[in-house]
Structure 1
Amino acid sequence: MEIAAAAWRDTKRPLWPLALVVPALPFVSLLLATVTNGAWAWWLTPVVILGVIPAIDLLIGDDRANPPEDAVPALQASRYYRWITYLFLPAQYAALIAACGVWVAGPGPAGAAALVLTAGLVNGVAINTAHELGHKRESVERWLSKIALAPTGYGHFFVEHNRGHHVRVATPEDPASSRLGESYYRFWARTVPGSLRSAWRLETARFRIRSRSPWTWRNDILNAWAMTALLYAALTAGFGPRVLPFLLLQAVVGFSLLEVVNYLEHYGLLRQRTATGRYEKVDPRHSWNSDRLVTNVFLFQLQRHSDHHANPLRRYQSLRTFEESPQLPAGYATMVVLALIPPLWRRIMNPRVLAHYGGDATLANTMPGFRPPG
């Protein structure tokens, strides 16, 4: 929905700093745990992200307003929006350091489980910040993207997402596009190694074209992984080897959160082949979207995913919603929970995929061997 430029104001401008609530939550838990001496406090972050935010999302509803195009240049140039993404990183790292301190102090079994989920969820959400930064041309933002990826050890995402997923999205060749009938757990087992292999092939090919060895600090995968190694080494030096299991476990939670978001973004959607045999151009029909206001604020409008794929350099504050984009029944926070329960996910999403293709499952990106009922 377009609004006249003269009358338009970014009504979400004061809301964007709410994205920083996520890395602030562990400090609230730390305060509560200190005051009450209760390990239950470390469940605050999982409860807020997976419970409270979806509930508020449902109550607040949708925001379908788009910025007018002649307002976009000034909106894109505003440093205010960039600094919000920049500030996420020191908050993310401070939360991780605090969590390491609690871990080595021994929070008990229940507290340890909650602590892994807390750090993993914060660093998983940070991958979304890395995603926003990594698409930009500015060198500083691209390096900040790798820094945000370091706690989860998922630095190869910087290569695979930008140069792999965006090229092959909504095709069977894309390891990050889920298929109709494929559970999240089956998708996870396919996409985690598949995305790593794809990233390495893409990066080594870049050096092969220049007749250079990929074993250099200029390799975007190796320098990103080096950041993880340095971070883990520094934390191990500071907190002792007992912190290593925590770092590895929270990393798995973090990149698994990324992959569950990948799972729901293109589930069952397929770009058709043209008469030339090539896939059609990516358009708004090839991404699941959600206009739920609250989750869009917390995720830098990641849910306006169609516009992101059409215009990957467009900054989050300028992303638009499109009428032709297939819509999820809820925001990402809710859909993440549903994706973890395959029977419920299939009951809700499979009919939507089929309806998107007029009931013709042959037009969908379908898991081999899967036959939809009816």
Structure 2
Amino acid sequence: MHHTKPRAEVEDRGMSDTRTWKDPKRHLWPLCLLVPAGPFIACLLANSVSGLLWGFGGYLLLVVVPLLDLIRGPDRAGPPDDAVRTLSADRYYRWCTYIFVPLQYAGLFFGFWCLAFADMTRGERVGLSITVGMSAAIGINAAHELGHKREKLEQGLAKIALAQSVYGHFYVEHNVGHHVKVATPADPASARFGESLFAFYPRALYGGLVSGIELETARLHRQGHRFWNWRNTILQSWSVSVAIVVVIVAAFGWAMLPYFALQAVIGMLVLEAVNYIEHYGLLRIPTAEGRLGKVRPEHSWNGDHLVSNVVLLNLQRHSDHHARAARRYQALRSCSEAPQLPAGYAMMVVLAFFPPLWRKVMDPRVLSHYNGDLSRVNVHPPKADKIEQRYGGASAEG
């Protein structure tokens, strides 16, 4: 009896601490809106500083964010268990994603107004197209967050966000395909050990499209419908893409079509570069019965770099996302059991464009994660013999 009261007091004090927990990044999350606002910011900077700044979106994501990540370093703080439900229910965080899509489209059409009517060189138009394309890419990321939710509004916004990059199939392929096959050779969105980004691109782009169409066709057939049906979620998003093209051509002329194609391709390529990073070399090994089992945090690379996480709505906490796909971005936590990235996604995307450097940085980390056992690694088949010769006798240190 003597110890009951103090222990109760400790428990009460712990519960009180949990109830009063506050998100230290609460007021940073609106910074994710900088990218969709990029065309407006680019116009302001280009007209007041230099025409080179029409490419603001590219500089922001590929230069500024990596530098800030490097300066700030990792941030592993996350909500305690008992705060997750309350944090997830806080609608303040949802408004960041709700506002994102209208701002994305305001920036898109403003960007094309500038491309059509502003006094710009061809190089400056390419720079602005990069800014618009970066908005398309981060729009796919916003769609990723929205598309995992059950509310019709969020699902609808996800399909609209994907339309700018003509990537409507992602809505199906990611949720129904990737989350089932992740970290297996059968998944087009899981990069294999020894596979360069440039080898990954065609496999991911084509494989993801085919997988999305097949999955949606199968779903519709189970319901007694054909692919060409208004219930088709891919066609719903693609129809918005067609409407965007029609509006742009009607308002700004046929000369804008190459720029629309350029920004859409940039959006696709940036998204798939991120996919390349998220599961590189990681493998789920089937059981004796051939089942893959539950996706665990160790099947995704984890990143805790603050600035990239704010801009990307905590996408770098991908290990927790795959383990708990419905969890909202603000409640995702760092997973210590997952393999850890050495830098934020922004820097890793840049690194991925230089395969020798990528391999030098990442291959030892994959091997260390599996204690040097290549049988546990998702190896790229065309490179299997070469990898076996190079690493077959290696053992991880530490």
Q: How does 1:1-374 map to 2 (within 5 A)?
A: 4-35=17-48, 38-105=50-117, 107-370=120-383, 371-372=386-387, 373-374=390-391
Q: Deviations over 1:122-157 (max 9, x none)?
A: 110111101000000001100000111111000000
Distance 1:266 1:276 in 2: 24
Contact kept, 8 Å, 1:135 with 1:162, in 2: the verdict is yes
Contact kept, 8 Å, 1:169 with 1:176, in 2: the verdict is yes
Q: Which runs of 5+ in 2 are unaligned?
A: 1-13, 392-398
2:191 match: secondary structure: coil
Counting aligned pairs with the same residue, the percent is: 52
Q: Deviations over 1:274-313 (max 9, x none)?
A: 1211113210100001111111111110001011111111
TM score, norm. by length of structure 2: 0.91
1:152 match: secondary structure: coil
TM score, norm. by length of structure 1: 0.96
Q: 1:26, CA displacement in angstroms?
A: 2.1
Q: 1:90, CA displacement in angstroms?
A: 1.6
Letter in 2 for 1:282: V
Which structure's relative contact order is higher, taking Cα pairs within 8 Å and 6+ residues apart? 1
In terms of mean alpha carbon deviation, does 40-49 or 161-170 score higher? 40-49
Aligned Cα root-mean-square deviation (Å):
1.4
Distance 1:328 1:113 in 2: 32
In terms of mean alpha carbon deviation, does 104-113 or 307-316 score higher? 104-113
Q: 1:23, CA displacement in angstroms?
A: 1.9
Q: Deviations over 1:310-338 (max 9, x none)?
A: 11110001111111010000000110100
Letter in 1 for 2:143: A
Q: Which has the larger radius of gyration?
A: 2
Q: 1:32, CA displacement in angstroms?
A: 2.5
Contact kept, 8 Å, 2:42 with 2:128, in 1: the verdict is no
Contact kept, 8 Å, 1:290 with 1:330, in 2: the verdict is yes
2:289 match: secondary structure: coil
Q: 1:369, CA displacement in angstroms?
A: 3.0
Letter in 2 for 1:113: V
1:14 match: secondary structure: coil
Distance 1:41 1:63 in 2: 30
1:12 match: secondary structure: coil
Q: Which runs of 5+ in 1 are unaligned?
A: none
Contact kept, 8 Å, 1:184 with 1:339, in 2: the verdict is yes
Contact kept, 8 Å, 1:39 with 1:110, in 2: the verdict is no
Across the two proteins, how many residue pairs are aligned to each other? 372
Distance 1:261 1:33 in 2: 28
